[in-house]
Chain A
Amino acid sequence: MGYFDVPEIDYTRYSNRQLAAVPLAVLAVALLVLSGAFLAYGTPVPLGMDFAGGTELTVQTTTAEGDIGTAFDDAPESVTGTGSENQYIVQFSSTDSQALSDQAEGNLEGDGDAEVVQSVSSTSASFGQNSQQTAMLGLVIAFVGMSAIAFLLFRTFVPSIAIVISAFSDLMIPLAFMRLAGIPLSLGTVAGLLMLIGYSVDSDILLNNHVLRRSGDFYESTYRAMRTGVTMTVTSMAAMLVMAVTAYIFGIDLLASIGTILFVGLAADLLNTYMLNLSLLRWYKFEGVRS
């Protein structure tokens, strides 16, 4: 059936330990990256303008990309082109947006009738600090809420904690990816992470439901859950990849970062659900119950 079909994996060939080792190793690497970064830079992930404070200008100018930086008294952190011709996003750590837009208007060549400064976005450091706390709180509440629901749904320890562990790993892996790829934490990526909490447990719930609440052989139930779950995850990943790539080309940061985070997180979820969660479930089903 179909152009792509979910392959049936012969899980009997691998022990629980072997299965769990891969995702746990990835999680360990992720945690290592994050804690190392925390020690080295003070934050586990690079903080974007929304959290660290700073200014971002979108300018429309015929000045060459390399010369844009010289138009400003303080050199910008970065200058990147957007999908449109002669349009650039310029980022500064300074928060004096008024002076920066004045400098842009004064020193950059106008492109026809278009305004030089197309958009300004600026956040003060103290406001960013505030947003950091809010975002942190939001993530914690979301995670705790999700865990509570997992326990409510299955009411047994091992399957519920399996969901919680793999959701935790689903969050840590994209965070480590952000550090390695240099993607700064922004409001968009926080939204992506929260979305991930909701999205990624879907496949875990599906798997647990098939294995625990249905009659039938463990491996057969697993395969059925996988067929549905992998389709779901792959569909979402495809949508997020397209969103991330097109939004990046068009220069729409918010959508690009939500897309990227979800794509990476969902990929991590495939690993966590069908190796980590599955091995815990199998142990529970075959050994945990009896003991």
Chain B
Amino acid sequence: MSPIGAIKGNWRVLLLGAFLVFAVVALFIPGGIVADDGLASDSVDSGPTNLEFGLGLEGGTRIRVPVAGMTAEDIDTGAVSDDGRVDQERLDGVESTLQSELDLDQADVSVDVQDDGTVTAEVFNDNVSESEFAAALQTADVDATEDDIRDGVTQSTRDNMIRTIQTKINAAGLSGGTAYESTTVSGDHYIVVEVPNMDADELRTILSERGQVEVVAYHPENGTQTNDTVLRGGDIVDVDPPEQQGEDSYAVPVLVSDEAAPGFQQQMNDLGFTSEGVGRCGLRGDGENIDFDQEGEHYCLLTVVDGEVVDAHSMGDRGGNGLATDMREGTWVNDPTFQMGAQNQQDAQSLSVNLRAGSLRAPLDFSEEQVYSIEPGHADQFKQYSLLIGLLSVLTVSGVVYARYTDTRVALPMIVTAMAEVVILLGFAALIRMPLDLSHVAGFIAVVGTGVDDLVIIADEVMDEGDVSSERVFQSRFRKAFWVIGAAAATTVVALSPLAVLSLGDLRGFAIITILGVFIGVLITRPAYGDILRRLLTDR
């Protein structure tokens, strides 16, 4: 046989070989097919293969939780004119009416123009009822009834929250965490957050903090101390990592936006922080809280996170180049930076994260959460067990197949081909960096099962009517067998495709692996098995 003839005659087996080599490279050679673009810390302890593991086999926490709130869509505020101009004052007016009517924080009400030009009002508080919301809208001269109000928040709010959460978990120094949205068939939206190597309590703490940062001026007015919010988290555009400034004092250097800086400077000067109030803040903290029970007048800038006072500071002149000096002289706006205080490193760290990520637009409704959390050690146990279960299943299948045929020429290639299918699938999983979980393991075992089934069909069909005497006989029988295999594959794919598309927990991985396995089987491994069998049976 000429070399070209040999290739032509065995192209199916060669193709299988090529795929196998490809899979092994993707599996075992670091950086293999795709360059390792993961985080450095990931690749250090990734074990002997390039496979990536999901939460269930690696350890970590996944929380799936809806956003608390309700929405009135496409409300008629009269704020958007036909030519697309927006009357922002009117929108702000509606927002503040809602806020005062429903007795909510500013952050819990939002009236916004959506991308399509409609106006949407959202309330992020589950204690407000639909009728109260509708009544408040009426008070704001918006014609809306209870029927216009639905549970849940807008897409743009969810997108915004997912970005914020993603930044938060990245900033908390956790690599590999992700936040994404999942939608159920009935149209409910959930935010899903997955973080490796973190337990449920920690993650819940991070997610339950709204992270609204405010700078509040605490100053005497008409004889009593009053609070005025002078800066909000959104006014701060850049944040540096926290710095330690003494034993119990930490600071987060921040840059105030050009829009907010002049106003802030003006307010500080008006309230007297840069004149009589310089250096006059007598509030002292105990490392956690601030003691407000002090005699006398105080001029303090309070760092407030989610309504809780984290630290209090005065403004100083520092011998002529302090913050108060620059503000008094009006030069601070040219370089609007200052330092926000915190009493301990943890607070400073979370302050810095909250400033960088921005605040969560709406709270999450943890009463409807779904949690999955597993210790890394336990997950590792699962990893070993599932490997063992997989091996045992393959052994069983091999045993049954051998017992059925007792002909090594038929049974051995059958087992080897079925294993090749799993190796190719694993290589593929490593290639696309699919994080493997228990459900994928079930998929792999199912693939071995269906794979061997089809090989049995081929073997029986080919050897059906006595020995295979010629190439032509083999081909005709092989084609007949393939009709059944194709039909069976089609039903499996159809049966599992809803799972691959619908979001039903962990089962997507199972469906995807099984469907992929069916395709690899029908297109690559089973034709190759046919070739191998033909050589073994006809070349005698």
> Which residues of A does B touch, CB under 8 Å?
1-5, 50, 58, 60, 83-84, 95, 97-98, 101, 114-115, 117-124, 126-127, 130-131, 133-135, 137-139, 141-143, 145-146, 148-150, 153, 187-188, 190-191, 194-195, 197-199, 201-202, 205-206, 209, 213-214, 224, 227-228, 231-232, 234-236, 238-243, 246-247, 250, 252, 254-255, 258
Contact = CB atoms under 8 A, between A and B. Distances in A.
B449 A235 contact: yes
Nearest to B401: A235
B439 A254 contact: yes
15 contacts: A120-B371, A120-B373, A130-B185, A131-B184, A133-B186, A138-B504, A145-B497, A187-B506, A191-B439, A191-B510, A195-B495, A202-B488, A242-B396, A243-B445, A250-B388
A101 B201 contact: yes
Given A2-B404, A243-B392, 6 more contacts: A95-B367, A117-B375, A133-B185, A231-B400, A232-B457, A255-B445
B200 interface: yes
Given A130-B184, A187-B506, A254-B442, A122 B369 contact: yes
B505 interface: yes
B240 to A, nearest CB: 34
A243 B487 contact: no
A124 B370 contact: yes
Contacts of A236: 449-450, 452-453
B503 interface: yes
Nearest to A193: B495
B456 interface: yes
Given A195-B446, A231-B404, A149 B375 contact: no
Interface in B422-467: 438-439, 441-442, 445-446, 448-450, 452-453, 456-457, 460-461, 464
B369 A231 contact: no
Contact of A187 (B64, B449, B450, B505): B505
Interface string B161-191: 0000000000000000000000011101010
A149 B370 contact: no
B403 A195 contact: no
Nearest to A232: B453
B526 to A, nearest CB: 14
A235 B406 CA distance: 14
A15 B392 CA distance: 42
B460 A228 contact: yes
B448 A239 contact: yes
Interface stretch (B92-100, B105-113, B220-228, B376-384): B376-384
Given A209-B483, A235-B452, A142 B494 contact: yes
Contact of B502 (A120, A138, A242): A138
B375 to A, nearest CB: 5
Contacts of A240: 449
Interface in B466-507: 480, 483-484, 487-488, 490-499, 502-507
A197 B491 contact: yes
Contact of A255 (B373, B379, B386): B386
A126 B378 contact: no
B453 A146 contact: no
Nearest to A140: B498
Contacts, number: 243
Contact of A205 (B397, B448, B484, B506): B484
Contacts of B498: 137-139, 141-142, 145, 194
A133 B502 CA distance: 11
B397 A238 contact: yes
A123 B496 CA distance: 24
B459 to A, nearest CB: 8
A131 B505 contact: yes
Contacts of A142: 494-499
Contacts of B201: 98, 101
The 4 A-B pairs with the shortest beta carbon distances in the complex, nearest first, are: A198-B492, A198-B495, A145-B494, A119-B374
Contact of B496 (A117, A137, A194): A194
B132 interface: no
Interface of B: 64, 184-186, 188, 190, 199-201, 204, 367-375, 377-379, 381-382, 385-386, 388-389, 392-394, 396-397, 399-401, 403-407, 438-439, 441-442, 445-446, 448-450, 452-453, 456-457, 460-461, 464, 480, 483-484, 487-488, 490-499, 502-507, 510-511, 514
B461 A228 contact: yes
B499 A194 contact: yes
B305 to A, nearest CB: 22
B428 to A, nearest CB: 20
Contacts of B372: 119-122
Given A4-B404, A124-B368, A97 B200 contact: yes
Contacts of A197: 491, 495
A123 B506 CA distance: 13
Contacts of A137: 185, 498, 502
A162 B531 CA distance: 34
Contacts of A252: 382, 385-386, 389, 438
Contact of B64 (A127, A195, A247, A250): A127
A84 to B, nearest CB: 7
Contacts of B497: 142, 145
Contacts of A232: 452-453, 456-457
A205 B486 CA distance: 10
A153 to B, nearest CB: 5
A97 B65 CA distance: 14
Contacts of B369: 122, 124, 127
Given A232-B453, A234-B400, A242-B392, A126 B368 contact: yes
Contact of B445 (A143, A224, A234, A239): A239
A255 B514 CA distance: 14
A130 B381 contact: no
A135 B186 CA distance: 12
A250 B385 contact: yes
Contacts of A139: 498
A257 to B, nearest CB: 10
Given A146-B495, A224-B464, A239-B396, A199 B450 contact: yes
Most buried by A among B372, B397, B404: B404
A133 B185 CA distance: 7
A127 B452 contact: no
Contacts of B400: 231, 234-235, 238-239
B381 to A, nearest CB: 7
Contacts of B493: 198
Given A122-B370, A138-B498, A246-B388, A149 B490 contact: yes
Contacts of B507: 187, 190-191
A201 B401 contact: no
